Amino acid sequence: MTKTPNLEIFNNSWQIYQEIIRFNYMEHQDIYSDLKKYITKNYPEPFSLLELGCGDAFYSAKSLTDTAISHYVGVDLSQPALNLAKQNLNGLNCSVELKQVEMWEFLECYSLSFDLILISFALHHLSSSQKQALLNKCYHHLNAGGALLLIDIFCREREPRPEYLKRYCNYVGSQWQKIERSDLDLALEHITSSDFPESIATFRTWAEIIGFNQVEVIYNGTFEAHNAITFYRK
Ligand SMILES: C[S@@+](CC[C@H](N)C(=O)[O-])C[C@H]1O[C@@H](n2cnc3c(N)ncnc32)[C@H](O)[C@@H]1O
């Protein structure tokens, strides 16, 4: 990976992100409630999960509680977020490893494979070619029959980035009313400089090229932006 995304907000102002998800502005409560149902139904036997860009793992820990998870590995660049993740994952009845490392570097250096890989709101910072390369790497870190779970912001099919940004920033400006003005400005600055969403159709095309068996949308967001999709490996 050549371009490093601007992730200052996650290193210096994690509490802003915590506020955003506390008010469910990115639909975490709904997405992770569906994810928990999905995992409970489809993974009744012990399984391993790698979470790339785990942040504080607040919602992933909730959705993995009382599942058959036997091994969790969380990867993130932000040490403040990982410190919180350690506490949030404490209640899981499985082995937990947390690594402060860039996700691509992790996949390059670590040879283990997993039953599930979760990337939640962490892929959209990369360029299109970086995203495609990362999905390809994930494919090779999945066990046969495993799946990649992608939760993220998405643009509409063929929606240019400026139009997406206008639409999403309008949504943020009109709906995220409980966030303090100065924090909202920082969030909007981060979105405008660092968010590079793709459409579901683009992911379907890449998945086919990489060799994923099937792509399934498991959560379709209210604002045509927050979705969860699953890529299955044969
Ligand atoms: C928007 S937060 C999402 C946190 C959590 N996954 C969630 O859904 O609430 C994005 C997280 O991804 C991490 N991140 C972004 N790009 C990364 C990269 N290339 N390598 C490692 N971590 C990354 C950031 O540090 C941050 O903690």
What is the structure's pLDDT at 10?
65
Asked if residue 2 is part of any domain, the answer here is no
Asked if residue 99 is part of any domain, the answer here is yes
Asked if residue 159 is part of any domain, the answer here is yes
Sheet holding 214-220, edge to edge: 95-100, 69-76, 47-52, 114-120, 142-153, 226-232, 214-220
Q: From the CA atom positions of the chain, what is the Rg in Å?
A: 17
Asked if residue 1 is part of any domain, the answer here is no
Q: Using DSSP, state whether 116 is helix, strand or coil.
A: strand
Cα 105 → chain centroid: 17
Distance 10 CA to ligand 1 centre (A): 8
Asked if residue 39 is part of any domain, the answer here is yes
**Residue in the block written with tokens 């570097």:** 105
Asked if residue 164 is part of any domain, the answer here is yes
Question: Structurally, how many domains does the chain consist of?
Answer: 1
pLDDT in tens, the chain (234 residues): 544 555 666 666 788 999 999 999 999 999 999 999 999 999 999 999 999 999 999 999 999 999 999 999 999 999 989 999 999 999 999 999 999 999 999 999 999 999 999 999 999 999 999 999 999 999 999 999 999 999 999 999 999 999 999 999 999 999 999 999 999 999 999 999 999 999 999 999 999 999 999 999 999 998 899 999 999 998
Q: Which helix (H) or strand (E) holds 150?
A: strand 142-153
Distance 109 CA to ligand 1 centre (A): 19
Asked if residue 68 is part of any domain, the answer here is yes
What is the structure's pLDDT at 7?
64
Q: Which amino acid is at 121?
A: F
* Ligand 1 cavity residues, CB under 6 Å: 5, 7, 10, 17, 21, 53-55, 59, 75-78, 81, 102-103, 120-122, 125
Q: Is 226 exposed, middle or buried (0-12, 13-18, 19+ CB in 10 A)?
A: buried
> Which residue lies with its CA nearest to atom 8 of ligand 1?
120
> Which residue lies with its CA nearest to atom 23 of ligand 1?
53
Mind listing the pLDDT tens digit for each residue in 11-32? 667 889 999 999 999 999 999 9
Cα–Cα distance, 144 to 113 (Å, whole number): 9
Which structure tokens are listed for 69?
């998870």
What is the structure's pLDDT at 9?
63
Residue of 2, 4, 7, 190 to test ligand 1 pocket, by largest number of atoms within 8 Å of CB: 7
Domain with 86, as residue range(s), is 8-232
What is the structure's pLDDT at 223?
87
- Write the DSSP string, 177-194: TTS-HHHHHHHHHHHHHH
Distance 122 CA to ligand 1 centre (A): 4
- A 10 A CB-CB count for 93 gives 11
CATH of the domain at 32: 3.40.50.150
What is the structure's pLDDT at 2?
45
Residue of 54, 101, 194 to test ligand 1 pocket, by largest number of atoms within 8 Å of CB: 54
Cα–Cα distance, 213 to 108 (Å, whole number): 23
Distance 20 CA to ligand 1 centre (A): 14
Helix 14-22, helix 181-194: angle, nearest 10: 100
What is the structure's pLDDT at 222?
87
What is the structure's pLDDT at 83?
95
**Residue in the block written with tokens 């927050």:** 226
Ligand 1 atom with least separation from CA of 76: 22
What is the structure's pLDDT at 226?
97
Strand partners, 226: 153
